[in-house]
Amino acid sequence: MQSHHSSSPENVSDTNNTHHEIAFTPSMPPARINDLISRVLQVGVIASSTVIIIGLLLFLFQPDALKGQHLEDFPHTLDQFTSAIVHLQPLAIIMLGLIILIATPILRVVFSILAFYLEHDYRYVIITCIVLALLIFGMLLGKGGA
């Protein structure tokens, strides 16, 4: 008597492939692309929150961190910012978390451009590139006005 369970390659691959890696491929279905874009947002928010919490915890372990600190002492250049992060200055760590948070939706737009390109939806590639250009332009304009 034969068993009703077949060990066809389809059944084997379904049972062995329960954990899916998310990566862009040209034949990726739109649902998987949406999963990847969603994952970018999740990871960005979690990373940002984690870094901000670390910065807040540093305040607890460095009670004198704000003593004598003025706005003009805060890092304004990339070198000052990098140095402040290396020296675990709480405000710089919190600022890093906020930068990650701001970069998250920008990365989402970049991943959307790739997704639309892989779907051969060139109209939305152009529209999303315009959105990215506006985001970058707005950031540059904001820095110039500061």
Q: Are 110 and 132 in contact (CB under 8 A)?
A: yes
The mean pLDDT value for 71-91 works out to 81
Segment 95-141, tens digit of pLDDT: 999 999 999 999 999 999 988 898 888 999 999 999 999 999 988 88
Question: What is the C-alpha to C-alpha distance for residues 24 and 36, in angstroms, rounded to an integer?
Answer: 8
Segment 25-51, tens digit of pLDDT: 555 666 777 788 889 899 999 999 999
